[in-house]
């Protein structure tokens, strides 16, 4: 099992998706706020804001929450103080990890991320210490029941996607960064709002983890980072055999 998105899918099947909705809504609200701040507050004129609102709708986030997030960003209060930050480091077994966050307190977030790495056998590095091992791509996720694999592949490639990887759980559509918005819009019109959509870091090669102790530490580290309220996404280049991953996530 390779990569963090696949790890998340397994965790979801095991019940890790039972995070409080309030936490997920807070993440979505931050993304909406910073998207509104970075461009025009009208979704039809701001692709990032449009994507953030689509993600909120897919998560059944109330319309009032969306409007409040936009108002915060454009009104100059809490939402306007959010900053995008990226942390890079190594986890157990030399696994490369990229953490992207939205925060109103850089010192707090940096301290929490550094503590997570240290506690679970990792080391936080400098900016660009591991990102050279990844490519940034557009990533769009649909649940497997949204369409058949062949139908999803044909629709995505026709819209401008580079590749589609379908499994029993999810369709993962990959696009060049510059084509992401166009592909997302085309697929949304045909299949509805995606489960997730955004720019993602895809590893160019993977780091195998065979030791159960290291695998367990890595899973715990990724879980702690994913649970942090300020963290928006986590990418990694690990590869763990399914049977090992099943044991450490049981």
Domain residue limits, the chain: 4-81, 84-132+204-248, 134-203
In the predicted structure, residue 3 carries a pLDDT above the cut 60: no
Taking residues 140-154, report their average pLDDT: 95
Question: Which pLDDT value is given to residue 198?
Answer: 84
Phi, psi of 178 (to 5 degrees): -70, -20
Are 214 and 152 within 8 A, CB to CB?
no
Nearest-angstrom CA–CA distance, 84 and 249: 30
Alpha helices (runs of H) in the chain, residue ranges in sequence order: 4-11, 21-38, 47-58, 63-75, 106-119, 149-159, 180-191, 212-227, 242-248
Question: Which pLDDT value is given to residue 20?
Answer: 60
Span 208-228, pLDDT tens digits: 998 999 999 999 999 999 889
First to last CA, the chain: 15
Task: Tell me the helix, strand and coil percentages in the chain, rounded to 5.
Answer: 55, 25, 20
Total H helices, total E strands in the chain: 9, 10
Span 181-208, pLDDT tens digits: 899 989 999 998 888 888 889 999 999 9
Taking residues 28-38, report their average pLDDT: 84
Span 227-250, pLDDT tens digits: 898 898 899 999 998 888 888 887
CATH 3.30.1320.10 fits 134-203, yes or no: no
Question: Which pLDDT value is given to residue 121?
Answer: 95
In the block, residue with structure tokens 């009208």: 42
Q: 225 by DSSP, 3-state: which?
A: helix
Which architecture does CATH list for 84-132+204-248? Answer: 2-Layer Sandwich (3.30)
Domain 4-81, CATH: 1.10.10.200
Question: Which pLDDT value is given to residue 250?
Answer: 73
Domains 4-81 and 134-203 share a fold: no
Question: Which pLDDT value is given to residue 222?
Answer: 93
Span 45-78, pLDDT tens digits: 888 888 888 888 888 888 888 888 888 777 655 4
Query: 200, 159, 185, 180: which is closest to 6 by C-alpha?
Result: 200
């Amino acid at each position: 099992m390779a990569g963090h998105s696949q790890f998340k899918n397994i965790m979801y099947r095991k019940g890790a998706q039972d995070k409080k909705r309030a936490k997920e809504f807070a993440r979505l609200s931050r993304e909406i706020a910073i998207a509104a701040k970075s461009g025009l507050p009208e979704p039809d004129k701001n692709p990032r804001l449009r994507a953030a609102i689509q993600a909120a709708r897919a998560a059944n986030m109330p319309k009032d929450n969306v409007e409040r997030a936009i108002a915060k960003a454009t009104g100059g209060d809490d939402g306007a103080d959010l900053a995008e930050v990226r942390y890079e480091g190594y986890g157990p077994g030399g696994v490369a990890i990229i953490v992207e966050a939205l925060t109103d307190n850089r010192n707090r977030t940096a301290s929490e991320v550094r503590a997570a790495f240290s506690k679970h056998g990792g080391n936080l590095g400098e900016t660009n210490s591991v990102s050279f091992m990844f490519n940034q791509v557009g990533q769009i996720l649909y649940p497997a029941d949204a369409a058949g694999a062949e139908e999803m592949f044909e629709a995505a490639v026709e819209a401008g996607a580079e590749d589609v990887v379908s499994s029993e759980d999810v369709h993962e559509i990959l696009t060049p960064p510059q084509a992401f918005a166009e592909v997302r819009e085309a697929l949304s019109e045909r299949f509805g709002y995606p489960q997730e959509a955004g720019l993602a870091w895809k590893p160019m090669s993977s780091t195998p983890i065979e030791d159960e102790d290291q695998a367990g530490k890595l899973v715990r580290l990724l879980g702690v980072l994913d649970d942090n309220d300020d963290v928006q996404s986590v990418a990694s280049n690990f590869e763990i055999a399914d049977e090992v991953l099943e044991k450490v996530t049981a």
